[in-house]
Chains A and B, each alone.
Chain A
Amino acid sequence: MKKLVVIGAGMATGRALEHLFETEPGAWDVTLFNAEPRGNYNRIMLSPVLSGEKTYEEIVTHDADWYEAHGVTCRFGEKVASVDRDRKVVIAENGDEVAYDKLLFGTGSNPFIIPLPGHDLDGVIAYRDLEDTYRMMETAGTPGAKAVVIGGGLLGLEAAAGLRMRGMEVCVVHLMGHLMDRQLDEAAGYLLRKALTDRGIEIRCSTNSKQILGENGKVRALELDDGTEIPCDLLVMAVGIRPNVKLAQECGLAVGRAIHVDDQMVTSDPDVLAVGECVEHNGAIFGLVAPLYDQAKVVAKTLTGEHDSFVQREVSTKLKVTGCDLFSAGDFADGEGREDIVFRDPARGVYKRIVIEDNKVVGAVMYGDTSDGNWFFGLIKDGTDIADMRENLIFGPAFQGGTPLDPLAAVAALPRDAEICGCNGVCKGQIEDAIAAGATDLGGIRATTKASASCGTCTGLVEQVLAVTLGDDFVMPASQSICACTDMTHEDVRRMIKSQKLTSMAAVFQECGWKTSCGCHVCRPALNFYLLADWPLEYQDDPQSRFINERKHANIQKDGTFSVVPRMWGGITTPQELRAIADAAEKYSVPTVKVTGGQRIDLLGVKGEDLPSIWYDLNQAGMVSGYAYSKGLRTVKTCVGTDHCRFGTQDSTGLGIKLEKTLHGSWTPHKLKLAVSGCPRNCAEATCKDIGVVCVDSGYQISIGGAAGMDVRETTLLAQVATEEEAIDLIKAVTQCYREHAKYLDRIYKWMDKVGLDWIQDQVVNDLESRQAHVYRFELSQSIYRKDPWAEHAKKPEKYQPLADLTLEAAE
């Protein structure tokens, strides 16, 4: 009998032995070493064992009877100390030597442990084998126990779901921006996150761990790099695996990232084969089961002297969490020449995306409906030309019955308690009830529920509820959607963002049924503004969704250079500031220096590469970005007021400075210009600004909705207040109201025409509580956004000899 020694009783070697015994029963004398004290079990089913949905006995692939029946000498719980390839013996830990004719490495992989401080504390484990699983089950047995899982990949999420089923409070900490980032795109990652959050699992993405904290040698909490501590009794690291190649390396086999094998699974030694997660084939390493089984087949053929070759093939991914249906295969990264087809059904939580290149499907991601997954997988594997079926491709093989894209799906999916009219607090259910009671048009709904009867921005949504409820009996008035990615209007989407608490771009795309995977240049800037205005703490500003001027923090000019405008609070400057501006203008050879209409100085013609340096210099002189490029506060123009002017009634300059300092950095739907005039002579031209203040003897007249651009408009009086403090509060409140309700790229006057001055007055003038609430929300947002963007990007100009006196250098 030929002697075969196998190192590692995993799924790959187990399958290889099955094939071998089928082909040549009784021909091989097999000795099987395994470091784990047991034989082959279906390791990928450990997650259901953890959750309680399977037992260990159920996932055993080869039991003692099987090994006995095939005459396998089992050396379980024994590690191999070394391999002497010259003498062709394997040396066990206890010194036993086992001779081989053929040796098969199946040493698998080791979990990667991030070397965070505290990683060796008791209670910090990986998730790899039955011992880890039992350890988790045991910890979960303590009522109130908490777990942290580092890693939001396949294994980490399965561990989290299992631990949650066991009754633990679970938090998943993931470094990347969305879950399962290697298998899913952002949209599918969003749906998965939602499903897991729904089962009580806390998910933190884009989160970095700093250290693991312990107490008496046992894990106590995970500390994140922002200082947050997440308490835990168990910390599971599921951040990836590394091929286990130590033994192979020590015995001199060729090893790269893993053990090198050829197409026949033979290593650099013709009598030594390798299979599974420990091998490297044509530069690739393997973690999923399908290619491992293909390798196992080839191993058996090679051992029996038949010819077969291992061919790498596409793999697909599924997640073993009951109720989470996802499918992912191929490559779905954006790229030149690639297009995608997207289908979303917000009501069913379905997202499907097919990526096409050269008329072939190269990638597929699905969430919620995976029935066609294998069909798409087949198209990818076979490289099928899909030119002829492109039209209906997304609906799968049974496309005739495919659900057509329903423009009303997002509204149909809203629960009854979703708030449609924010002004009057009217929910979808109340509107449905009103329709059931006989209201069949917008007027009827307004009369009975007051929905859309105030600011009117929810009109579109109310009409859609009517359409969904009444069906063909309601004729939808035509409305302008944001862009071709959606059928919803700006107002609809804003209402959805508020009422459904949508706090990410991916959430908006899915819940509003976007027809593209990640929006376009039209909708993204609008959504970016809506999200940061409504969810300043939850949402992170996305620079990629901004126009170039906002991304560059400078206005691009027609020759590709930029203009730089430092802020001059209230139009007041100092000799030092002027000197610094002059120095900068000379140092960076600024061709044009201009005084703007907003009472500040514009440096025109700055080269893109000089921007960080010029910002640095201006920052050093105490100046910050004037946001002259932004859809946000531009300037507060002032006159000299009581300090110098004999007509002045109040300190208009002082108020202007305070307003500019309060409002700067705040993003608004469009640019926002203010002015404060010290008397009705109105030298600061306050009555053609977005918000103008005219000081009078009895206080401050605050008016809004002026413009002096393509449209010229005079402001309308919003209110007169007695004190400066009240004036500032009112301006903050009306700014916030504008931020919360206006359509992106509407100046205040356009917004005011839509919602009416009365409504604005109801929000911020007449109702003091409401005014204060607006002020509070404005300040909350400003706690994030009241900052100088230059400072984050400013760089000391190294090319100008960093150690020298910069002002002297510039003066030369």
Chain B
Amino acid sequence: MMDTVLDAPTRTFIEVTEVWVPKDGRLVLANGNYGALDDFAAVSGQESFGPGEGLPGKAWAEARPVVLKGFEGSYFKRTDAAKAAGLTSAVAIPVFAGDILKAVLVVLCGDDKNRTGAIEVWAENDGLLMLSDGYYGAARHFEWVSQHTHFPRGQGLPGGVWASNTPILMRDLGSGYRFIRAESAGTAGLTTGLGMPIPVPGSKTFVLTLLSARGTPIARRFEIWDARKAKVGHAREAVLIDGICAREGPLWSGETEKERRVDAWQGPVGKALGSGLPVVESGTPALAAGYESMVALPIWHGPELAHIVAWYC
């Protein structure tokens, strides 16, 4: 069906996902999926971050997604524990509802020569989206090319997300990426991409993309849910507008088919819808298609929860 779904990965691209929420002026851990990294989980559970402190605090204070590669000597607060767990890079994604910080989602990755994929942060600069930073695993050449690529409005995955202000799931990364893939022939192709707007206070534009490769996919199921009043009306529900799954195939509904909907608090996506916060679930038997873990990330348009993107491993 698609490249990500061909074979089972040996290790997932993202090893740790955690949700930090503000409480009494500091960010505290709400939940997380640490896989087998119990020691890192234990250290994290005791940690908290003020604005500007550590990676989550930096994303909060600077109101932007932050990519950190190499913890040694940086502002990262859990360097020793991360090193022990083999984690080398992290991306912090703030979730703002208008001016209010709802949470910071942090994903941590291990360094591995065999794992290809990309988590990119694109920022608007002079009417173009330029790469702010990104984590690429082993895809070094891809990283170099991405640094030298820009997207006008409406072009490619980042430009498409920017222009439509909507998360987009692409199966065939055309503009810009097409050239990159051609250059990286022989290595694993990056075909599937999930792009989403990351709204922050002020007028800056950020787009986050998760690019998945065959063999070490970022996830094996992606979903985009639309929760805008303009789409679902006043009911607190969300409708699945696109998705793809290694086990169930395409998840979108045809023009004459019934749409899939969830109510607030119904399942993990419903929980993200109800709470407006990112949801990380693992080891729960009720996850879609029998997956072991999932992340649901809400995207707000000002004070309104607009979309939820979810990925499953």
Instruction: List residues of chain A with CB under 8 Å of any chain B CB.
Output: 42, 44-45, 51-55, 57-58, 137, 140-141, 143, 161, 164-167, 198-201, 289-290, 293, 318, 322-325, 348, 350, 368-372, 396-398, 401, 416
Taking A199-B153, A350-B230 as contacts, is the C-beta distance between A293 and B256 under 8 angstroms?
yes
Whether A371 and B233, one on each chain, are in contact in the complex, defined by CB atoms closer than 8 angstroms, is yes
> 25 A–B contact pairs at CB < 8 A?
A52-B171, A52-B172, A54-B171, A55-B171, A55-B172, A57-B2, A58-B249, A58-B250, A140-B174, A164-B154, A165-B154, A165-B156, A165-B174, A166-B155, A167-B156, A198-B154, A199-B163, A200-B153, A200-B159, A289-B255, A348-B230, A350-B230, A369-B229, A398-B234, A398-B235
- Nearest Cβ distance between residue A684 and chain B, in whole angstroms? 55
Question: 7 tightest CB-CB pairs across the interface, nearest first?
Answer: A323-B164, A199-B154, A167-B175, A199-B163, A369-B230, A371-B233, A52-B172
A164 to B175 CA separation, bound complex (whole angstroms)? 9
Q: Dominant SS at the A interface? A: loop
On chain B, the residues within 8 Å of A323 by CB distance are 163-166
Whether B203 and A58, one on each chain, are in contact in the complex, defined by CB atoms closer than 8 angstroms, is no
Considering the complex, give the chain B residue whose CB is closest to the CB of A416. Answer: B203
On chain A, the residues within 8 Å of B159 by CB distance are 165, 199-200
Whether B230 and A141, one on each chain, are in contact in the complex, defined by CB atoms closer than 8 angstroms, is no
- Nearest Cβ distance between residue A328 and chain B, in whole angstroms? 14
On chain A, the residues within 8 Å of B186 by CB distance are none
On chain A, the residues within 8 Å of B154 by CB distance are 161, 164-165, 198-201
On chain B, the residues within 8 Å of A398 by CB distance are 233-235
Taking A52-B170, A318-B255 as contacts, is the C-beta distance between A167 and B155 under 8 angstroms?
yes
Check if B169 is an interface residue, CB within 8 A of chain A: yes
Check if B210 is an interface residue, CB within 8 A of chain A: no
Check if B232 is an interface residue, CB within 8 A of chain A: yes
Whether A44 and B249, one on each chain, are in contact in the complex, defined by CB atoms closer than 8 angstroms, is no
Interface residue from B164, B174, B179 paired with A199 (Cβ < 8 Å): B164
On chain B, the residues within 8 Å of A370 by CB distance are 230-231
On chain B, the residues within 8 Å of A200 by CB distance are 152-155, 159, 163
Whether A166 and B175, one on each chain, are in contact in the complex, defined by CB atoms closer than 8 angstroms, is yes
In the complex, given contacts A53-B169, A369-B230, what are 15 additional A-B residue pairs having Cβ atoms less than 8 angstroms apart? A52-B157, A58-B2, A58-B250, A140-B174, A143-B179, A166-B155, A166-B175, A167-B176, A198-B154, A199-B159, A199-B164, A323-B166, A325-B231, A370-B231, A398-B235
Interface residue from A53, A54, A55, A371 paired with B229 (Cβ < 8 Å): A371
A371 to B242 CA separation, bound complex (whole angstroms)? 17
Whether B155 and A57, one on each chain, are in contact in the complex, defined by CB atoms closer than 8 angstroms, is no
Whether A53 and B242, one on each chain, are in contact in the complex, defined by CB atoms closer than 8 angstroms, is yes
A165 to B151 CA separation, bound complex (whole angstroms)? 10
B120-170 with Cβ < 8 A to chain A: 152-157, 159-160, 163-166, 168-170
Check if B36 is an interface residue, CB within 8 A of chain A: no
- Nearest Cβ distance between residue A141 and chain B, in whole angstroms? 6
Check if B244 is an interface residue, CB within 8 A of chain A: yes
On chain B, the residues within 8 Å of A141 by CB distance are 174, 178
Interface centre among B168, B174, B175, B179 (most CB of A within 10 A): B174
On chain A, the residues within 8 Å of B1 by CB distance are 55, 57-58
On chain B, the residues within 8 Å of A372 by CB distance are 233
Interface residue from B2, B168, B229, B254 paired with A42 (Cβ < 8 Å): B254
On chain A, the residues within 8 Å of B152 by CB distance are 200
- Nearest Cβ distance between residue B264 and chain A, in whole angstroms? 15
A324 to B164 CA separation, bound complex (whole angstroms)? 7
Check if B68 is an interface residue, CB within 8 A of chain A: no
A57 to B171 CA separation, bound complex (whole angstroms)? 11
On chain A, the residues within 8 Å of B233 by CB distance are 371-372, 396-398
On chain B, the residues within 8 Å of A290 by CB distance are 255-256
- Nearest Cβ distance between residue A201 and chain B, in whole angstroms? 7
A166 to B170 CA separation, bound complex (whole angstroms)? 11
Check if B173 is an interface residue, CB within 8 A of chain A: yes
Whether B155 and A165, one on each chain, are in contact in the complex, defined by CB atoms closer than 8 angstroms, is yes
Interface residue from A58, A198, A318 paired with B171 (Cβ < 8 Å): A58
Whether A325 and B156, one on each chain, are in contact in the complex, defined by CB atoms closer than 8 angstroms, is no
A53 to B171 CA separation, bound complex (whole angstroms)? 5
Considering the complex, give the chain A residue whose CB is closest to the CB of B226. Answer: A325
On chain B, the residues within 8 Å of A58 by CB distance are 1-2, 171, 244, 249-250
On chain B, the residues within 8 Å of A401 by CB distance are 234
Considering the complex, give the chain A residue whose CB is closest to the CB of B234. Answer: A398
Taking A164-B154, A198-B153, A323-B164 as contacts, is the C-beta distance between A371 and B232 under 8 angstroms?
yes
Whether B168 and A322, one on each chain, are in contact in the complex, defined by CB atoms closer than 8 angstroms, is yes
B162-216 with Cβ < 8 A to chain A: 163-166, 168-176, 178-179, 203
A398 to B233 CA separation, bound complex (whole angstroms)? 8
- Nearest Cβ distance between residue B118 and chain A, in whole angstroms? 16
A139 to B256 CA separation, bound complex (whole angstroms)? 32
Whether B249 and A322, one on each chain, are in contact in the complex, defined by CB atoms closer than 8 angstroms, is no
- Nearest Cβ distance between residue A485 and chain B, in whole angstroms? 24
Whether A52 and B256, one on each chain, are in contact in the complex, defined by CB atoms closer than 8 angstroms, is no
Whether B160 and A322, one on each chain, are in contact in the complex, defined by CB atoms closer than 8 angstroms, is yes
Contact with A along B273-308 (1 / 0, CB 8 A): 000000000000000000000000000000000000
Interface residue from B156, B164, B230 paired with A371 (Cβ < 8 Å): B230
On chain A, the residues within 8 Å of B244 by CB distance are 58
On chain A, the residues within 8 Å of B166 by CB distance are 322-323
Whether A52 and B173, one on each chain, are in contact in the complex, defined by CB atoms closer than 8 angstroms, is yes
- Nearest Cβ distance between residue A583 and chain B, in whole angstroms? 62
- Nearest Cβ distance between residue B158 and chain A, in whole angstroms? 11
Whether B254 and A45, one on each chain, are in contact in the complex, defined by CB atoms closer than 8 angstroms, is yes
On chain A, the residues within 8 Å of B157 by CB distance are 52
- Nearest Cβ distance between residue A667 and chain B, in whole angstroms? 36
A350 to B231 CA separation, bound complex (whole angstroms)? 12
Considering the complex, give the chain B residue whose CB is closest to the CB of A140. Answer: B174
Whether A54 and B250, one on each chain, are in contact in the complex, defined by CB atoms closer than 8 angstroms, is yes
Whether B164 and A325, one on each chain, are in contact in the complex, defined by CB atoms closer than 8 angstroms, is no
Considering the complex, give the chain A residue whose CB is closest to the CB of B3. Answer: A55
On chain A, the residues within 8 Å of B229 by CB distance are 369, 371
A456 to B179 CA separation, bound complex (whole angstroms)? 55
Whether A51 and B160, one on each chain, are in contact in the complex, defined by CB atoms closer than 8 angstroms, is yes
A290 to B257 CA separation, bound complex (whole angstroms)? 10
- Nearest Cβ distance between residue B176 and chain A, in whole angstroms? 7
Considering the complex, give the chain A residue whose CB is closest to the CB of B203. Answer: A416
Considering the complex, give the chain A residue whose CB is closest to the CB of B233. Answer: A371
A390 to B172 CA separation, bound complex (whole angstroms)? 47
On chain A, the residues within 8 Å of B2 by CB distance are 55, 57-58
On chain B, the residues within 8 Å of A201 by CB distance are 154
A289 to B255 CA separation, bound complex (whole angstroms)? 8
On chain B, the residues within 8 Å of A51 by CB distance are 160, 170, 174
Interface residue from A54, A55, A165 paired with B175 (Cβ < 8 Å): A165
B230-252 with Cβ < 8 A to chain A: 230-235, 242, 244, 249-250, 252
Considering the complex, give the chain B residue whose CB is closest to the CB of A349. Answer: B230
A161 to B252 CA separation, bound complex (whole angstroms)? 20
Whether A167 and B230, one on each chain, are in contact in the complex, defined by CB atoms closer than 8 angstroms, is no
A231 to B160 CA separation, bound complex (whole angstroms)? 24
On chain A, the residues within 8 Å of B171 by CB distance are 52-55, 58
- Nearest Cβ distance between residue B259 and chain A, in whole angstroms? 10
Whether A165 and B160, one on each chain, are in contact in the complex, defined by CB atoms closer than 8 angstroms, is yes
On chain A, the residues within 8 Å of B252 by CB distance are 54
Interface centre among A45, A58, A165, A323 (most CB of B within 10 A): A165
On chain A, the residues within 8 Å of B176 by CB distance are 167
On chain A, the residues within 8 Å of B174 by CB distance are 51-52, 137, 140-141, 165-167
Interface centre among A52, A161, A166, A293 (most CB of B within 10 A): A52
- Nearest Cβ distance between residue B139 and chain A, in whole angstroms? 19
Interface residue from B169, B172, B175, B256 paired with A289 (Cβ < 8 Å): B256
On chain A, the residues within 8 Å of B234 by CB distance are 398, 401
On chain A, the residues within 8 Å of B163 by CB distance are 198-200, 323
- Nearest Cβ distance between residue B53 and chain A, in whole angstroms? 29
A289 to B257 CA separation, bound complex (whole angstroms)? 11
A401 to B173 CA separation, bound complex (whole angstroms)? 41
On chain B, the residues within 8 Å of A143 by CB distance are 179
Whether A140 and B175, one on each chain, are in contact in the complex, defined by CB atoms closer than 8 angstroms, is yes
On chain B, the residues within 8 Å of A161 by CB distance are 154
